[in-house]
Amino acid sequence: MRPQSLLPAALLLFAATPALAADEETAAICIEAEERYVELFGQPSASVDDAEVVLMYKYNFCPFELTIKAGTTVRWVNVDKRTSHSVLLKDGSEPESDRLFPEESVDMTFLTPGPQDYLCGPHWETQNMIGMITVEP
């Protein structure tokens, strides 16, 4: 085997490493977010019956992607300690939420099937705080 034949594979691995590291960092942040939710509310976010919960923490939405059925309510909960966030649907179908301070939440019910990108009004440009919901029929 010639050393040149390994170069493309090595370059691919090197190029993929930052993306893998970012995914691992985001996963760790989302684990912290869930721990913070339990600390604040005394139960896991998955135990909420009336909504799908998205946590806002350290300039991330956790989970980043969510797939729901039409008619489902999504509840965004700010579990940061000091930072306020908002929720803004990119298609403009709803006004931007008020700023959510720590431990505050906002609910939205999705009726129309399709993708729905959203962002944090104050942090999407500087922190890339964006998320996506896919609404299924």
- pLDDT tens-digit map of 36-48: 999 999 999 999 9
pLDDT of residue 23: 86
Tell me if 60 sits within 8 A of 29, measured CB to CB.
yes
At a CB cut-off of 8 Å and minimum separation 6, what does 79 contact?
33, 36, 37, 40, 55, 56, 57, 102, 103
Tell me the DSSP string of 22-68.
HHHHHHHHHHHHHHHHHHHHSS-GGG-SSSEEEEEETTEEESSEEEE
Mean pLDDT across 10-27: 58
Pairing between β-strand 60-62 and β-strand 52-57 as defined by DSSP bridges: antiparallel
| Average per-residue pLDDT for the chain | 88
DSSP 14: H
Mean pLDDT across 19-42: 89
- When pLDDT is cut at 50, 70 and 90, the band that residue 10 belongs to is very low
Q: Which of 74, 75, 79, 76 is nearest to 40 (CA)?
A: 79
- When pLDDT is cut at 50, 70 and 90, the band that residue 7 belongs to is very low
| Domain edges within the chain | 3-136
Tell me if 35 sits within 8 A of 67, measured CB to CB.
no
Q: How far apart are CA 91 and CA 49, in angstroms?
A: 28
Domain 3-136 classified CATH 2.60.40.420? yes
Q: What is the pLDDT of residues 87-137, one digit of tens each?
A: 999 999 999 999 999 999 999 999 999 999 999 999 998 999 999 999 999
- When pLDDT is cut at 50, 70 and 90, the band that residue 5 belongs to is very low
Q: Which two tokens stand for residue 133?
A: 């919901």
Q: Does position 58 have pLDDT exceeding 50, yes or no?
A: yes
User: What are φ and ψ of residue 45, in 5° steps?
Assistant: -60, -30
pLDDT of residue 22: 63
Query: Has this prediction a pTM greater than 0.75?
Result: yes
The alpha-carbon radius of gyration of the chain (Å, integer) is 18
